[in-house]
Structure 1
Amino acid sequence: MTGELSILDLFLQASLLVKIVMLILLSLSVISWAMIFKRSKVLSVARSDAERFEDKFWSGMDLSQLFNEVKVRKDRISGTEKIFYSGFNEFARLSRVNSSSSEAVMDGTARAMRVTVSREVDNLETNLPFLATVGSITPYIGLFGTVWGIMHAFIALGAVKQATLAMVAPGIAEALVATAMGLFAAIPAVIAYNRLSVKVGKLEHNYAAFMDEFSSILHRQAMASQEK
């Protein structure tokens, strides 16, 4: 054995169980990176869409006209647009059937928007639990592979009469690669989970703030209609 061993050499020389552990960790790492890129893009688009719609909403455009524009593509909307659509739709429906009670109208409207906010946040959080799981379990999976590999190396060492460091070192090195791969999978997953969770939290706060502001506008409209 030479001192120059690549990770591929260590993988090929490892025991079957350690190889399986390494392949599991590699697969989890690849899946995690795919989810990280996908979620990052989804959250970036959600943020941009929210800012664009709020600019239009606060531009002074008539709410009924804005609702009609959104309604045309209601199957493709999300985020703030969907909150607006569900709130205004429920407000208009309740205003027709219960125009004498503004409080009943606003309670129903608020409930519809809260449900929409909850669903939108759930959509934004898709895959985040998986990243959290990868970040928490992969170090232990790697450690298991390392323990098994070292145990296997020492068992093999016990079968020879004269043991030397050169005989046991390669086996231990092969086993330690599993721990390294566990950390390689865990660290990006943990960092991404924390960063993406912060972004989801900001969007959730943005949705809640928009819902409150929109509710205030609709409440004023409801009170004005009741006074007529």
Structure 2
Amino acid sequence: MIDLIFQASPLADTHSGDFSFLSLFMQADWVVRSVMIVLTIASIWSWVVAIDKFIMFAMLKRRATAFEDTFWSGRTLDELSAALGSDTRDPMARVFAAAMREYNESRNATAASGVLGRSNATHERIDSVMNLVINRELAKAERGMTVLATVASASVFVGLFGTVWGIMNAFRAIAVSQNTNLSVVAPGIAEALFATALGLIAAIPALIFYNMFTADLDKYGGRLEGYSDELSAILSRKLSKGA
């Protein structure tokens, strides 16, 4: 099978001596060319995801700051809930809306039980609702991270495959021409190194983006959880006072 693939591959001595990137791509055999195409697509895809994440995290941070300023402006929770209305574009606002909805429904419930037991059950439900919203929002923010992780880990090995194949072409050229002159092996080696370079070009930025956005996601998750703890404490005090 490998012999048939080699027979379909261009010989190294058919190279024109032009070592530009475009020429290396056009003169490469179909295996190395396929590797180059895959790596180029992977690199472009990772940059698209990275740009989307840059914009998303910038918007999340800006909206969270604006919501926190509004939340701590001194207005009551009922006033904030009424002012917020259906404008819940920010995940932090959705956490607040879900908590207030559960709080109001529990406060208006007519189930007859002990005040302390009802307060504890309501507090547990509010915490559960907020945790569900936080997990859902973090899952949304995490979309695309798998692409960056996959490109960062797999691109190097895909490039290595292209490298090995290019070196095999170089040795084949030596065997066919019975000549170890550098002009015989240079084209295959150049293809191999080009595939290696493309693998690194795809993998290194993807790895940097993945680590950076993972840190941003952890910070934002901690910010959401910290806010939910503060809101839970406020609602718990209101429940224990029988508000």
Match of 1:51 among 62, 65, 78: 65
Q: Which residue type is aligned with residue 67 of structure 1?
A: S
Counterparts of 1:142-221 in structure 2, within 5 Å, are 142-221=159-238
| Displacement of 1:9 | 1.2
Look up the match of 1:115. Answer: 132
Q: Which residue type is aligned with residue 192 of structure 1?
A: F
TM-score by length of 1: 0.94
- 1:89 and 2:106 are equivalent in the alignment: no
- 1:17 and 2:34 are equivalent in the alignment: no
Q: Tell me how far apart the structure 2 counterparts of residues 161 and 63 of structure 1 sit (CA, whole Å).
A: 85
Conserved? CA contact 2:159–2:198, under 8 Å? yes
User: For each residue in 1:179-203, what CA deviation from the matched residue of structure 2 results, as whole angstroms up to 9, or x when unmatched?
Assistant: 1000000000000000111111110
Conserved? CA contact 1:78–1:120, under 8 Å? no
| Displacement of 1:223 | 1.1
Q: Tell me how far apart the structure 1 counterparts of residues 157 and 58 of structure 2 sit (CA, whole Å).
A: 32
Structure 1 window deviating more from structure 2 (32-41 vs 151-160): it is: 151-160
User: For each residue in 1:114-161, what CA deviation from the matched residue of structure 2 results, as whole angstroms up to 9, or x when unmatched?
Assistant: 000001111111101110110000000000011011112211220123
Structure 1 window deviating more from structure 2 (94-103 vs 147-156): it is: 94-103
Q: May I ask how many residue pairs the two structures share in their alignment? A: 224
- 1:62 and 2:76 are equivalent in the alignment: yes
Q: Tell me how far apart the structure 1 counterparts of residues 91 and 207 of structure 2 sit (CA, whole Å).
A: 26
User: For each residue in 1:80-121, what CA deviation from the matched residue of structure 2 results, as whole angstroms up to 9, or x when unmatched?
Assistant: 111101111111111222583111110000000000000111
Q: Tell me how far apart the structure 1 counterparts of residues 193 and 19 of structure 2 sit (CA, whole Å).
A: 13
| Displacement of 1:17 | 0.7
Conserved? CA contact 1:134–1:186, under 8 Å? yes
Q: List gaps (5 residues or longer) in structure 2.
A: 1-14
Q: Tell me how far apart the structure 2 counterparts of residues 205 and 225 of structure 1 sit (CA, whole Å).
A: 30
Conserved? CA contact 1:131–1:190, under 8 Å? yes
Where has structure 1 moved over 4 Å in runs of 4 or more?
Answer: 1-4
Conserved? CA contact 2:155–2:200, under 8 Å? yes
Among the aligned pairs, what percent are the same residue?
A: 36
Q: Tell me how far apart the structure 1 counterparts of residues 56 and 179 of structure 2 sit (CA, whole Å).
A: 60
